[in-house]
Amino acid sequence: MLLKNKTIVVGVTGGIAAYKALELTSKLIKSGADVKVVMTKSATEFVRPLSFQSLSKKPVAVDTFDEPNTWEIRHISLAKSADVFTIVPCTANVIGKIASGIADDMLTTTVMATKAPVLIAPAMNTNMFENPIVQNNIEKLKSYGYEFVMPTEGRLACGDTGQGKLSDINSIFDKIVCLALSKNTDLKNKNIVISAGATIEKIDPVRYITNHSTGKMGFALARAAYQRGANVTLVAGSNRCNKINGVNQIDIESAEEMKTAVMTASKNADIIIMSAAVADFKPNSFSDEKIKKSGADHITLELTRNPDILKELGEKHGGTKTIIGFAMETQNLIENAQKKCAEKKVDFIVANNLRTEGAGFGTDTNVASIVSQDGSTIKLPKMSKLELADIILDKALECSKNCKIL
Ligand code: CTP
């Protein structure tokens, strides 16, 4: 349970996105958090407190003077209990009040009294969001250490299109986890480059060669690293994952493009993880025009070798940066992984067998072994890709302590 023993105070203000705070509350509860909800009066016009009360199994605070227990001052005890205080969604009005030191209801008095990290997820009409007064208030709050998950662009409730839509709940949740867990700081100031997904090698304007990778393992690594405070660059090939707010994602198609992006990003990296399924071969040439069948029964597609990015990384940065590779095998898993580890000069290889139940493409779980440069092998049980990501990052951090500083 990711958020066991953590108290998250969720403030809800009056906007059309208020209902989305229900989804967040439910997600936090499922992660083991103790959730306490505070609503402004106008928020209760959009969603009834009873909905939050049913999910959190706790009374919802709305009115400052409605003290359930006479021996405690509610806004102060709520403020003190928070490990993270989040306001989802947060209106321009409430941002303005906090920035100006106005505390005139339960939510604003509580947020003013808290010493916990405060995470604000604004949602409002584009013109309101772009208003320099709102922007200045946001900048002011940032300068005081308030954290933000910025709204995204999209079609808004008023019919306008632009920035102002509440960021997706998963991104807000990730940021809360990041703030709530002290373990996350262990990767603070670390630059981590991760590759994920499949490369696409074009044959002609219509066809291409690729593989079954969905990018789930690489994205799980990026998410876990970000949650632990790292600066993450994710070089993403073809994938079936959602973008992660806060992670610098560089989208590429071919192995050559992946190589350029990874090599460039690696210059400032401390840890590099190649979890992408890179095509070993690409068509000899790309046909500008669609290849016609022209009555042929057989055709031959000639392929040529792609660069081995991991090998080049090992040759360039081995010993000075922590480099991690993956190996997906269908037989002789450990022997093949040991060979790859030595040949590519990497710190360790995360090896998995495509045929093992719970491992492989598109699954949310993995069954992996960690094969290290020093010859040691750790066989891990089946676990979620996010859990495995944390184990890989623990080991990477350990290795990075032994890297030579240039
Ligand atoms: N890799 C790479 N560049 C390639 C091929 C693979 O950087 N052209 C990386 C992968 O991202 C992975 C590791 O090398 O981290 C091992 O990939 P894998 O496909 O298992 O092995 P290969 O080295 O391609 O060897 P083989 O296909 O012969 O098993």
Domain residue limits, the chain: 7-182, 187-398
Taking residue 211's Cβ as centre, other Cβ atoms within 10 Å add up to: 16
How much of the chain, in percent, has pLDDT values that exceed 70? 96
Would you say residue 111 has pLDDT above 90?
yes
Give the separation between CA 156 and CA 13, rounded to whole angstroms.
Answer: 17
pLDDT tens-digit map of 85-96: 999 999 999 999
Is 63 or 186 the better-scoring residue by pLDDT?
186
Would you say residue 406 has pLDDT above 80?
no
Flag the least confident range among 58-72, 73-87, 100-114.
58-72
Per-residue confidence band for 403, with pLDDT thresholds at 50, 70 and 90: confident
pTM greater than 0.85: no
User: At 366, which helix (H) or strand (E)?
Assistant: strand 365-366
Q: For residue 73, what pLDDT is reported? A: 73
Strand partners, 236: 196, 251
Token digits of residue 322: 């922590």
Would you say residue 179 has pLDDT above 80?
yes
**Ligand 1 pocket mutation pick from 272, 274, 317 by most atoms within 8 angstroms of CB:** 274
Cα 52 to middle of ligand 1, angstroms: 48
Query: What topology does CATH give the domain 7-182?
Result: Rossmann fold (3.40.50)
CA dihedral (168, 171, 173, 175) positive or negative: negative
Is 223 or 338 the better-scoring residue by pLDDT?
338
Would you say residue 68 has pLDDT above 90?
no
Flag the least confident range among 36-45, 63-72, 137-146, 252-261.
63-72
Q: Which of 90, 158, 178, 403 is catalytic?
A: 158
Would you say residue 314 has pLDDT above 80?
yes
Token digits of residue 231: 């600066």
**Superfamily grouping for domain 187-398:** CoaB-like (3.40.50.10300)
Contact 183, 228 (CB under 8 A): yes
Q: For residue 30, what pLDDT is reported? A: 96
Q: At 359, which amino acid appears?
A: A
Mean pLDDT on 146-157: 90
Flag the least confident range among 48-57, 117-126, 147-156, 232-241.
147-156
Is 250 or 140 the better-scoring residue by pLDDT?
250
Mean pLDDT on 8-26: 97
What SS3 class is residue 2? coil
Burial category of 261 from C-beta neighbours within 10 Å (exposed 0-12, middle 13-18, buried 19 and up): buried
What is the residue with the minimal CA distance to atom 16 of ligand 1? Answer: 327
Q: At 113, which amino acid appears?
A: A
Q: At 87, which amino acid appears?
A: I
CA 325 to ligand 1: nearest atom: 15
Q: For residue 178, what pLDDT is reported? A: 86
Is 16 or 227 the better-scoring residue by pLDDT?
16
| 158 carries an active-site annotation | yes
Q: For residue 211, what pLDDT is reported? A: 97
For the residues of 101-121, what is the DSSP string, one character each?
T---SHHHHHHHH--S-EEEE
What single-letter DSSP state applies at residue 392? H
The two beta strands, 152-155 and 161-165, are antiparallel
Q: At 37, which amino acid appears?
A: V
Domains 7-182 and 187-398 belong to one CATH topology:
yes
User: At 222, which helix (H) or strand (E)?
Assistant: helix 216-227
Averaged pLDDT score across all residues of the chain: 93
Cα 377 to middle of ligand 1, angstroms: 19
CA 307 to ligand 1: nearest atom: 8
As for ligand 1, residues whose beta carbon falls within 6 Å of it are 255, 274, 276, 278, 280, 306, 308-310, 325-328, 340
Mean pLDDT on 143-167: 89
Is 360 or 66 the better-scoring residue by pLDDT?
360
Q: For residue 71, what pLDDT is reported? A: 57
Cα 402 to middle of ligand 1, angstroms: 25
pLDDT tens-digit map of 338-368: 999 999 999 999 999 989 998 988 888 999 9
Mean pLDDT on 203-231: 94
Strand partners, 154: 162
**Ligand 1 pocket mutation pick from 326, 332, 348, 352 by most atoms within 8 angstroms of CB:** 326
Q: For residue 184, what pLDDT is reported? A: 60
Per-residue confidence band for 70, with pLDDT thresholds at 50, 70 and 90: low
**Helix 106-113 × helix 92-100 angle, to 10°:** 50
**Ligand 1 pocket mutation pick from 193, 263, 308 by most atoms within 8 angstroms of CB:** 308
What is the residue with the minimal CA distance to atom 28 of ligand 1? Answer: 280
Mean pLDDT on 42-71: 86
Per-residue confidence band for 272, with pLDDT thresholds at 50, 70 and 90: very high
Cα 220 to middle of ligand 1, angstroms: 19
Would you say residue 370 has pLDDT above 70?
yes
Q: For residue 142, what pLDDT is reported? A: 84
Cα 309 to middle of ligand 1, angstroms: 8
